[in-house]
Amino acid sequence: MFAVSRQLAAQNSDARRRQQPGVRPMRLLLVEDNAGDVRLTHEALATTGANTSVEVVPDGAEAMRYLRGEEPYSSAERPDLILLDLNLPKVGGQEVLRFIKTDPNLRRIPVIVWTTSRSPQDVTTAYENHANCCVTKPSDWDSFQRLIDAAQRFWFGVVTLPSQ
């Protein structure tokens, strides 16, 4: 009963966000070098109907430039949530995570670490670096879509995020 009530509350919150004119979209920063995963994330978010704005950066160095507000990201808005791949070119995901969680202006942004790695050490290190959660990237569309839907509902429908 309680689980059903929570699910309905999340759906109602999502519906209100989609229906209210003037409500800003929730901002997601996707740090992902795999073009296929970027496309799948966009498609999965589209199926949720959520009012979500997605910015994509292809590597860890660009993520850090984005979050610092360096060119060409000087007008970029701070994300409400970061979806961070661990295995990134230039600067790895663990280093990006440490950068975020040690910066007083960024540390409150929730970070979902997602990876194809099944290494227990990767998961342990991510939590030691203060990841808000770690998930394994699904290998099929249905699981991928369910993961994105669940993350969107939880982080943008259930959780109260800190104000900018």
Above 80 in pLDDT, residue 4? no
User: Is the link from the previous residue into 72 a cis peptide, with omega within 30 of 0?
Assistant: yes
Q: Has this prediction a pTM greater than 0.85?
A: no
For residues 57 and 130, what is the distance between their CA atoms, to the nearest angstrom?
21
- Angle (CA) 131-119-143 rounded to 5° is 75
| Backbone φ, ψ for residue 59 (5° rounding) | -160, 170
CATH at 46: 3.40.50.2300
Domain with 37, as residue range(s), is 26-158
pLDDT tens-place string over residues 29-68: 999 999 999 999 999 888 888 888 899 999 999 999 999 9
Q: Answer whether residue 128 is part of any domain.
A: yes
Query: For residue 105, is it within any domain?
Result: yes
Q: Is residue 11 part of a domain?
A: no
Residue 70, in any domain of the structure:
yes
The residue behind tokens 């519906």 is 15
Tell me whether residue 13 is in a domain. Answer: no
Residue 6 forms part of a structural domain: no
| Long-range CB contacts (within 8 A, 24+) of 118-123 | 122/86, 122/94
Q: Give the pLDDT band (50/70/90) at residue 10.
A: very low
What is the domain count for the chain?
A: 1
- 73 found inside a domain: yes
Residue 58 located in a structural domain: yes
